[in-house]
Amino acid sequence: MKKFMNSAGTLAQDSLEGFVAAHDDIVMFGAGRKYVRRRILSPGKVAIISGGGAGHEPMHTGFVGYGMLDAACTGHVFTSPTPDHIQAAIRETDGGAGTLLIVKNYDGDVMNFEMAAEMAMAEGTHRVETVIVNDDIAVERSARGTGRRGVAGTLVVEKIVGAAAQAGATLDDLRVLGDAAVAATRTMGVALKGTTVPQTTRETFLLGPDEMEVGIGIHGEPGRSREKVADASAIVALICTHILDDFGSLDGQPVLLFVNGLGGTPQSELYLVFGLARAFLQARGVIIARSLVGTYVTSLDMAGISITVTHLDQRLIGLWDAPVLTAALRW
């Protein structure tokens, strides 16, 4: 498998260099070029920081900017950023009101962000809270193990919390809001082809010509089942049924419907999926109050889609609608 890169080891940093150069009106490198931050910080506002391994672009760096993240820390491909990088971002972006970390529920991310929070608070000048995103319903809830993964719903949480922070919400209020946004969000994905990791240039899992992987993760993890490829209507019905079952009931309730591409899916197919998902949910009494379609939370070049549904109330609608100016999301 051929890729545009100089070397697998420098791919993540080389990509960041180009990203910052392309969007230097919005973002800049932080101290030591260890992370990407907003070019213009807002003193007195709670800082919102997220991050994770490279390979999910435009998440997270593409969501740094007004009304969303203050900084994003990026590790190597599918590898968590180190605690010292996260700690440096906390130091630089904390404007006196504290810092909220939004972390996807993966062992490496949770461990490194928790360690960074402890290191920053040990300095005596920072207050740090954390929201863990676990929207992936393909993983069963369990008292053991990590539990559900954080996937495309992370974007929704970052947008809602970022808008509230921009409006002046306190750190405690933002943590409660973030947890509520996570609890209101469900995601599930399907892949037609695995992801090709730069270090090996091999796919993380191989599918036959008539197979699809149901319930995949964003690091190329296999899903909960391997099934025969169906038409788009059947795939959408499968995902949306699982989502509705997990919610219990959304009859008469307003939601955000977010159809996300995992890196190798054409926009035309994403809109096709959105139309089918919208019709499926509306036929079951769900009100599609807001929508988002595009390639935002990827797994390198995986050919796949995910569907995210967030149960909205009037406050969440207002925060979703609030102005945002980032490289990847703006209105």
Q: Which residues does the annotation mark as catalytic?
A: 56, 219
The Cα 271–Cα 276 span in angstroms is 9
Q: Kind and range of the H or E element at 193?
A: strand 185-193
Q: 218-256 burial, b for 16+ CB within 10 Å, e for fewer?
A: bbbbbbeeebeeeeeeebbebbbebbbeebeebeeebbb
At residue 281, what is the residue type?
Answer: L
Lookup result for tokens 């319930």: 215
- Which has the closest alpha carbon to 214: 139, 293, 149? 139
Cis-peptide, bond into residue 60, ω within 30° of zero: yes
Question: Which letter does DSSP use for residue 32 in this model?
Answer: G
Could you give phi then psi for residue 38, rounded to 5 degrees? Answer: -60, 140
CA dihedral 147, 236, 255, 293 (to 10 degrees): 100
Residue 289 DSSP SS3: strand
At residue 323, what is the residue type?
Answer: P
Query: In 184-253, where does DSSP find H-type helix?
Result: 232-247
